[in-house]
Structure 1
């Protein structure tokens, strides 16, 4: 306890020199103050190093299926696709809990399904996302334990609107899949309070690939949210946000079962007080709670003829944060605080066996109960300090340290899991993360950024406690390992970005490039364990079983480059490229789920009332694969998308898109393969063929 008390005190004492130029306070009368829901504020003295922001989301994605679709053309990102609904973003070959994905700088909602039928990107409507902020590596300690980077999904705020009643209604339709999307937003804003209500409905059918093959991918979802903000004083604000999401009849082509129901609820509370005193400038506090109730079955699958399976599972995620912003001197800003992330899951699967292994009907069906999560929890309590110091008017140094106490336990283990691990019980882990970085403004508008981050991630619940379930891209049964060591990412990165203004009709050139190298410790992978036998459907292939282990020797390296030029007042051209090379030296193969080299070229035209874009994507062949993960080499492909937008009246926006113009038949390397489908072998899921999309929005 003495050590913990000392650490709590230590978090609020500046421990390293890090950066801030003189910041002038706004002395004018303020409207509702903004909570710290954004990470990247546009101020070089306070923004984390090596960040990128994506805005103008509506123009890029006319009909997003869920939030993950917003990453589709974000340089450095790829999508892990199991169908049309269960889509996860992957950044630089990091995915799942390796990425710290959060809403509004802190709120989280973890999936209930072990196959990730309900990732965090399904619990908020994409129309509610205003911008996406990315910290490219473990270069900050303020937003929870971070291994591969931070992704902050910022929801739309009413603060930029005038007082009064505002709203918008939008709707869209896609031909490929007969998809219908609609959403409604309402805002009531005064100087003292503001209220925002949102609602959205999606109904997607099965789409067809470029060859006209129908892919089982239909789903329906209904979402709504309510946000209440109250300005206690000019320098104090409190806000409550409630949202619920309902998924129904979701088909997952790449998973063994489908979602019958997925119901999620998220409540978050935020408080901020600024101008506290001469030393403490600001105090921010957040608390949140989410609950996911998930029901899935194989009723639509061929395996139901032999065995019916129905799983009812739930997940709770709770957490919070208190952070102090301090200013010891004009050149020094210090952040210190505590946070918590509490994850618990439970639920089981009911199997009704109707036929024997020969296919003959049993005189009386046999019913079995399987424990999916075995009533497990993982609690992470964090303590952090991060400091910024201006070495000069051109150079800013940032350094931070973080301590995480991770407590995990399995409270209702299956008998065979308890037999495999006889020492089950509460486990405590002590993780230390750290970062140091520097920003230096070169001549003109050029900037050099250098960073090192040590990001530490304890094993997730699947890696610890899953018990003979198929949860990977391959058909193996997986068994967890509660004794796994925490993964460590030692990431080094250097980046250069700038802007140059021209004359003679060319307005501006923007460019950036960054290269990185990650040296991994205790990297977690699943490998075949010859001591384990298949538990369910014992005669099915493969007979082997995988168990999660730590490996000693793994690394990752890569780069991203972007350039954009505005010319002739209304035209622009952009190019982007991303490449990552990840290696598992222990098994002499690539790390799994490593995306191929991707190049994007775009040409655009934009005026006040009309805009257009032509986007050409070249995805290279991927032959660097993980054979132990049963990955297959994938061919390269090229796609062309055309988007048009018009604003015929002040408050009306219309959009038209033709996606995959040439009706290309292709599949991304990260797509899962068909599983337990009547008309498909175990081959990767193809992406949609040509698709026409229309969109309309009315503001009032």
Structure 2
């Protein structure tokens, strides 16, 4: 995937494109931009529920290759990195199905038994209109509620007219190491109908770390989504959507690469507002997705060799192997919003059905594709909000999910009834510019596909399937937050504390006979699962100050803590204390910014314990990185953004980075480093 040498000069290329765009689209400027959105937002930039729900704008010029890349810009999120792309996010130290990831209201779980294709791998952030993060178990509106957070990537209905029957935007991002991204979003129609296209492509070569060493990490990916919308009146919205995507990625932290990430999707959503004086909205949707993922150790790297006898002689022979896995998912949801005076009630039902299949091929075997898991859930929920007065609001909700999981290879199944609920008090005092919330939530989580089928054993520790040997995970969590503004000073804090019974913990050790390619960067260590009790706590906080009309700064920090109270050990795979200092100078035509990220060392570890993707390899060192960026408003609708990340070319590794694959020459527990100094430039145009 080598790029032409011209693309290795991203700044020059971007300036050329910008100048060309300015000449082609030259016209008198019809509006003056007063402020430009920060490239990196370390403080809360818009929120609901007094700060519990954080909103983010995915159109900001953040050079994110996928959903996980973008979420790391929001305080509380970190990522377990495999290489250059397709990391797996953590939030407040929690991982996997504890974080609910939704795109346009539906869930795409991915297929890989070691989460090469995490849910965020199939998400291109810039093609969405808004990202919402609901912290903690403080909503029940979505199936199989996430205990740590619910993340929603949303697109809105098009609003076109006969005067302007089209809308669109396009961007090109170029960067070091052959990075080249294209993104196009275009819609045409009128007041009653529209067609919208979202298409993007991203490609990069392997990067170099701060020491100048190449880290295998190249990728190529593309997405295309088409939507047909019908809006016969301002209260009705019907949309039919479909999409396809594919890609490939080299993983420094795995013994196999992802050579295919094929996705197909089809969805229908209907929304009707103001049905009656009481029923304010009814919404329904059904979505189908099919993921076809292939991982192998030969198409994107040199295959490993194995000693074999040939004509009576021992020879080193290539030993290529691959695995193909698929998941078909059908999600459905029906909800209604009703209002009486100061009371609002949201009720609904939802369901999810998915089938997982796979097969392994190598020199020694060629297995047929077999369905190995069927999952189905049915849920019902109700969420009530009552506005006592202008200052106080009570929000509460409850849901129940009935889940059945069939393990076809084991000829076994398990059924679970999962209750969840929360109650929250929101308080605001406009005269003091202060807001706060406090809530308690409870959620039960059935062990997910990876915990049930990828773990080599359950609580017994013997080599028997974990399928019926793991208990449901039960989380009781207190969430609270506070925001305040006083003149040029603003501040906020979100804190939590929780008790988790039967927390599902992965321990890595030798499981003889494990299948090739299924380890996690270390050939002899694979995961076994067990239930433990745990306590968690932590916070995210920030303070901002507007020094002048043009100069602003904010400082924010996040910290997560967890304790395995059963074994009196720290919970593993929790990111260390992190702080960010963001300084910005904003003018009418341009913005300049600097971001200093400081990460503490992590000494609270549990050696060889973690989750299905990674485990604690040892204590980690702290580090600091500096990034510079700027945006210039060329003319109405055209912006040029440039940036330098890791300005000082530091050689560093995140605490959550995986161990490098021995196939690339990494030592047994040697983590690969993050990218060194790199440049990027982005030209965006709206029309």
Counterpart residue number, 1:7: none
Counterpart residue number, 1:183: 183
In 1, the alpha carbon distance for the partners of 2:480 and 2:56 equals: 21
Q: Is the 8 A contact 1:660 1:689 kept in 2?
A: yes
In 1, the alpha carbon distance for the partners of 2:417 and 2:98 equals: 18
Offset at 1:160?
8.1
Residue 332 in 1 paired to residue 319 in 2? no
Counterpart residue number, 1:473: none
Q: 1:499 to 1:75 in 2, by over 3 A?
A: same
Q: Is the 8 A contact 2:596 2:627 kept in 1?
A: yes
In 1, the alpha carbon distance for the partners of 2:45 and 2:276 equals: 22
Counterpart residue number, 2:200: 200
In 1, the alpha carbon distance for the partners of 2:288 and 2:554 equals: 41
Q: Is the 8 A contact 2:47 2:53 kept in 1?
A: no
Counterpart residue number, 1:695: 682
Q: 1:512 to 1:619 in 2, by over 3 A?
A: same
Q: 1:668 to 1:114 in 2, by over 3 A?
A: same
Q: Is the 8 A contact 1:534 1:544 kept in 2?
A: no
Counterpart residue number, 2:268: 269
In 2, the alpha carbon distance for the partners of 1:313 and 1:369 equals: 12
Counterpart residue number, 1:607: 587
Counterpart residue number, 1:55: 57
Counterpart residue number, 2:107: 108
In 2, the alpha carbon distance for the partners of 1:434 and 1:346 equals: 33
Among 391, 404, 417, the alignment partner of 1:407 is 404
Counterpart residue number, 2:333: 321
Counterpart residue number, 2:561: 581
Instruction: Supply the RMSD in Å over aligned alpha carbons.
Output: 2.6
Structure 2 matches for 1:220-619, cutoff 5 A?
220-248=220-248, 250-299=249-298, 300-304=301-305, 305=317, 307-327=319-339, 329-352=340-363, 366-367=364-365, 369=367, 375-411=372-408, 413=409, 418=410, 424-442=411-429, 443-466=431-454, 468=456, 480-500=466-486, 502=487, 508-527=488-507, 533-536=512-515, 546-551=527-532, 553-619=533-599
SS at match of 1:627: coil
Offset at 1:159?
3.1
Offset at 1:302?
4.8
SS at match of 1:268: strand
Q: 1:91 to 1:673 in 2, by over 3 A?
A: same
Offset at 1:392?
2.1
Q: Is the 8 A contact 1:163 1:191 kept in 2?
A: no
Residue 661 in 1 paired to residue 647 in 2? yes
SS at match of 1:240: strand
In 1, the alpha carbon distance for the partners of 2:90 and 2:380 equals: 27
SS at match of 1:197: strand
In 1, the alpha carbon distance for the partners of 2:389 and 2:100 equals: 32
**Structure 1 residue runs without a partner (length 5+):** 1-39, 353-365, 419-423, 470-476, 503-507
Q: 1:167 to 1:478 in 2, by over 3 A?
A: farther
In 1, the alpha carbon distance for the partners of 2:381 and 2:393 equals: 20
Q: Give deviations 1:632-673, integer Å, cap 9, x for gaps.
A: 111000000001111111121111100000001111111111
Q: Give deviations 1:495-535, integer Å, cap 9, x for gaps.
A: 111222x3xxxxx33211122101001111123699x7444
Structure 2 matches for 1:133-172, cutoff 5 A?
133-144=132-143, 145-155=145-155, 158-159=158-159, 163-172=164-173
Q: Is the 8 A contact 1:51 1:134 kept in 2?
A: yes
Q: 1:160 to 1:141 in 2, by over 3 A?
A: farther
The two structures have a TM-score, normalised by structure 1, of 0.83
The two structures have a TM-score, normalised by structure 2, of 0.85
Q: Give deviations 1:245-286, integer Å, cap 9, x for gaps.
A: 1103x1011112011221101222111111111222211111
Q: Is the 8 A contact 2:58 2:126 kept in 1?
A: no
Q: 1:163 to 1:178 in 2, by over 3 A?
A: same
SS at match of 2:450: helix
Counterpart residue number, 2:90: 90
In 2, the alpha carbon distance for the partners of 1:516 and 1:499 equals: 22
In 1, the alpha carbon distance for the partners of 2:464 and 2:549 equals: 57
SS at match of 1:522: strand
In 2, the alpha carbon distance for the partners of 1:42 and 1:169 equals: 25
SS at match of 1:294: strand
Offset at 1:542?
7.3
In 1, the alpha carbon distance for the partners of 2:437 and 2:643 equals: 37
Counterpart residue number, 2:660: 674
